[in-house]
């Protein structure tokens, strides 16, 4: 016969207190840490430093600046020129050390340039798409190409930057473009969320969104993004409160919020043109785009081409980018669908382990391996 031992150990009040004391101390320590972190956050003591990879300005026009990242390990002949959206800060490409797309590209031996459009003011309210596509971009590409030895440039556009890169490559087929990569770039605007496509036509009059500078203010741009996921801000605050004692999380949180809450105004003339050509006209799909007085066709893009789609993109749904691969004229064209969100393609663990290597791998496969100057 077996007997089940029952716990009959006597627990004295002293023993209970001895066990609870470390728990209490731990709780107190955690509470204190949360309090200190909250205090530092509210006072803005721990500001995130973003976009810190060393770089130098090599060209500028108006607010646009072309940067070249410093590197002593360039092994690929063709440089990569990153082209940003007009409404987001370029820092997302180089968020923080260890979590940076630029850093990853440099580690792969690439020569990296970044075209930062800057923050527009009254001076830029009249900037049209032609200003960027036919004026700034061709000169920036020529400058990057010249500095890197004249072997052509891999133009890499992100989101609206991809749209600008498409217009540029289609309108300037003789420019020194070695490859064209666009990431999370919409072409079918009927598939875009209404908060992105609801301007113009029967929707909001584009003129009504301009402020006294003639541009769409940054707060309106941010509100547009917030409308896509109305509870996202609250969820972000909940994450922050829950993980207030996690220093690594707080570091990433500060870096991301420093970027997401810091949009730039949309130049008024370019905004109205975008609403007309794409929001109302769906110009890429209808193939009726006219820029600078001449027709622009995506089929005129013949360089090796990569379009990257994010499966969980809530800003540019994959459906909005899907037709693109069939619209360009390139013989060598690839569509890459990656398991990420709009920003997760180049930020975070998934970006680092899956997305960035896939994209840089394609670029290196389509470049020459000799060392550049």
CA–CA distance, 82 with 119 (Å, rounded to integer): 17
**CA torsion, ordered 5, 6, 10, 11, to nearest 10 deg:** 120
Judge contact between 316 and 343, C-beta under 8 A.
Answer: no
For residue 174 the two structure tokens come to 């003789």
* Pairing, β 333-338 against β 289-291: unpaired
Among 19, 208, 248, 294, binds another protein (CB under 8 A): 208
**Least distance (Å) between residue 116 CB and another protein:** 9
Categorise residue 282: left if φ over 0, alpha if ψ from -120 to 50, beta otherwise. Answer: left
Residue 184 · residue 162 · CB < 8 Å: yes
Q: Count residues contacting another protein (CB under 8 A)? A: 39
Q: Report, in Å, the least distance between residue 323 CB and another protein.
A: 21
> Which lies closer to another protein via its Cβ, residue 182 or residue 316?
316
Q: Under the criterion CB under 8 A, does residue 278 sit at the interface with another protein?
A: no
| Residue among 92, 143, 269, 328 that touches another protein (CB under 8 A) | 143
**Which residues form the catalytic set?**
159
By CB under 8 A, name the one of 15, 235, 295, 358 that touches another protein.
235
Closest to another protein by CB, 208 vs 248, is 208
| 52 φ/ψ sector (left φ>0, alpha ψ -120 to 50, else beta) | alpha
In angstroms, how far is CA 300 from the centroid of its own chain? 26
Q: Which is nearer to another protein, 118 or 329 (CB)?
A: 118
Shortest CA distance to 182 belongs to which of 311, 67, 290, 334?
334
Q: How far is the CB of 252 from another protein (least distance, A)?
A: 18
Q: State the nearest-atom distance from the C-beta of 257 to another protein, in Å.
A: 19
30 touches another protein (CB under 8 A): no
Options 229, 236, 257, 302; binder of another protein; rule CB under 8 A:
229
Asked whether position 228 contacts another protein by CB under 8 A, the answer is: yes
From residue 94 to residue 133, what is the string marking binding to another protein with x (rule CB under 8 A)? ------------------------xx-xxx-xx-------
C-alpha–C-alpha distance, residues 143 and 155, integer Å: 13
Q: Quick check: 238 binds another protein (CB under 8 A)?
A: yes
Cβ–Cβ under 8 Å, residues 273 and 259: no
> At closest approach, how far in Å is the CB of 213 from another protein?
8
Closest CB 139 distance from another protein, rounded Å: 5
Nearest alpha carbon to residue 265 among 232, 227, 222, 295: 222
Residues in the chain: 373
CB of 91 to another protein, least distance (A): 13
- Our finding on whether 38 is near another protein (CB under 8 A) is no
Is residue 209 part of the contact set for another protein (CB under 8 A)? yes
For residues 64 to 83, the per-residue mask of contacts with another protein, x marking binding by CB under 8 A and - elsewhere, is: -x------------------
Q: ∠248-251-253 over CA atoms, to 5°?
A: 110
**Can you say whether residue 200 is alpha, beta or left, with left for phi > 0 and alpha for psi between -120 and 50 degrees?**
left
Using the minimum distance from each CB to another protein, give the nearer residue, 35 or 98. Answer: 35
**If binding is defined by CB under 8 A, does position 142 make contact with another protein?**
yes
Q: Taking CB under 8 A as the criterion, which residues in 144-203 touch another protein?
A: 146, 193-195, 198, 203
Binding another protein (rule: CB under 8 A), the pick from 41, 63, 151, 222 is 63
Q: Which stretch binds another protein (CB under 8 A): 24-32, 229-237, 342-350, 355-363?
A: 229-237
Structure-token match 């791998």, residue found: 361
Site residues (vs another protein, CB under 8 A): 57-63, 65, 118-119, 121-123, 125-126, 139, 142-143, 146, 193-195, 198, 203-205, 208-209, 212, 214, 227-231, 234-235, 238, 242
């Amino acid at each position: 016969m077996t007997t089940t031992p029952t716990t009959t150990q006597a627990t004295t009040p002293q023993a209970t207190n001895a066990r609870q004391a470390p728990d209490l101390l731990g709780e107190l320590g955690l509470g204190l840490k949360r309090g200190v972190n909250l205090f530092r956050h509210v006072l803005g003591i721990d500001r995130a430093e973003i976009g810190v990879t060393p770089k130098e300005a090599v060209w500028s026009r108006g607010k646009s600046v072309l940067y070249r990242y410093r590197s002593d390990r360039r092994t690929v002949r063709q440089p990569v020129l990153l082209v940003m959206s007009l409404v987001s800060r370029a820092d997302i490409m180089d968020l923080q050390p260890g979590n940076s797309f630029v850093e990853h590209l440099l580690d792969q031996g690439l020569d990296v340039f970044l075209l930062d459009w800057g923050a527009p003011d009254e001076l830029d309210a009249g900037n049209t798409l032609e200003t960027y596509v036919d004026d700034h971009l061709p000169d920036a590409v020529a400058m990057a190409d010249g500095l890197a030895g004249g072997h052509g440039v891999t133009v890499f556009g992100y989101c609206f930057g991809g749209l600008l890169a498409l217009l540029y490559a289609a309108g300037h087929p003789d420019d020194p473009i070695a490859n064209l990569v666009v990431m999370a770039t919409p072409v079918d605007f009927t598939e875009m969320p209404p908060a992105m496509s609801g301007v113009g036509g029967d929707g909001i009059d584009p003129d009504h969104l301009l402020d006294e500078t003639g541009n769409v203010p940054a707060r309106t741009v941010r509100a547009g993004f917030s409308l896509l996921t109305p509870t996202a801000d609250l969820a972000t605050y909940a994450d922050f409160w829950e993980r207030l004692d996690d220093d690594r999380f707080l570091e990433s949180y500060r870096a991301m919020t420093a970027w997401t809450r810091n949009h730039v105004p949309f130049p008024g003339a370019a905004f109205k043109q975008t609403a007309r050509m794409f929001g109302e006209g769906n110009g890429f799909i209808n193939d009726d785009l006219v820029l600078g007085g001449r027709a622009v066709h995506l089929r005129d893009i013949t360089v090796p081409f990569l379009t990257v789609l994010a499966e969980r993109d809530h800003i540019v749904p994959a459906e909005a980018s899907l037709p693109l691969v069939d619209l360009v004229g390139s013989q060598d064209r690839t569509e890459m669908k990656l398991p990420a969100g709009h920003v997760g393609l180049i930020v975070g663990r998934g970006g680092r382990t899956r997305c960035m290597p896939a994209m840089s791998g394609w670029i290196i496969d389509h470049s020459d391996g000799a060392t550049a100057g």
